[in-house]
Amino acid sequence: MHAADDLLVERGFTGLTIEGIAQRAGVAKQTIYRWWNSKVDILLDTLIDDAREALEWRTDESASAEENLASHLRRVADFFEEPAGQVLQALLGQAQLESDTAVSLREGFLKEQRERDVTGLRELLAHELVVDERTLDHLVDLLLGPLYYRVLVFGAAIDQELVDTTARLVLTLARESSSASP
């Protein structure tokens, strides 16, 4: 899986082949095909494995909700700079061209990550707010949308100002829509 990550970064999605992965990993091509049907399957497995820890929600009890939210967004921004983040970008690009990749990505990694993001935001807000599920779902879109937009549409790095502004605005919206009094 590390060979696939490395080759993707070096050669891009179209330059990545099963043969190249096998050669870099020092195994026979048949060994690769024993475990995966395609390079997309390999990349999905590497993405799931790498993102689980990198995109984990963590809470520092001594920090404010805004600081914790900004800290999580900084981890997301950093993730996009890593090989695993480049794998996600490549798969999202390929998903626009190939429906099987889109389905695999959405039903696998993206669905699981979405559940982690909803749970993480819910738990972070629960210290001071109660937000209904529909609003929580929208807040996750508002939280992550600007970061994905910056990286995927403009191909630009995510700066600290975007992280801080996004965290502050999402928290403000959560407080405004909260069904509990602060």
Residue 8 CA to its chain's centroid (Å): 17
pLDDT 10s per residue in the chain (182 long)?
Answer: 777 777 777 877 778 778 888 888 888 888 888 888 888 888 898 899 889 999 999 999 999 999 999 999 999 999 999 988 988 998 999 999 999 999 999 999 999 999 999 999 999 999 889 899 999 999 999 999 999 999 999 999 999 999 999 999 999 999 999 854 44
Q: Give the per-residue pLDDT at 181.
A: 42
- Which phi and psi angles does 38 have, rounded to 5°? -155, 170
- Residue 1: inside a domain: no
Task: Find, among 70, 61, 71, 55, the residue nearest to 116 by Cα.
Answer: 55
DSSP structure string for 33-45: HHH-SSHHHHHHH
Q: Give the per-residue pLDDT at 179.
A: 56
Q: Give the per-residue pLDDT at 180.
A: 46
- Residue 109: inside a domain: yes
- For residue 123, the enclosing domain spans 40-177
Q: How far apart are CA 41 and CA 104, in angstroms?
A: 8
68 touches 59 (CB < 8 A): yes
- Residue 166: inside a domain: yes
Q: Give the per-residue pLDDT at 182.
A: 46
- What is the Cα Rg of the chain in Å? 18
- Residue 147: inside a domain: yes
Q: How far apart are CA 13 and CA 53, in angstroms?
A: 24
173 touches 129 (CB < 8 A): no
**What total of structural domains would you count in the chain?**
1
- Residue 69: inside a domain: yes
Q: What CATH number should be reported for the domain holding residue 69?
A: 1.10.357.10
The pTM (predicted TM-score) of the whole model is 0.85
Q: How far apart are CA 81 and CA 20, in angstroms?
A: 23
- Residue 35: inside a domain: no
Q: Give the per-residue pLDDT at 91.
A: 92
- Residue 3: inside a domain: no
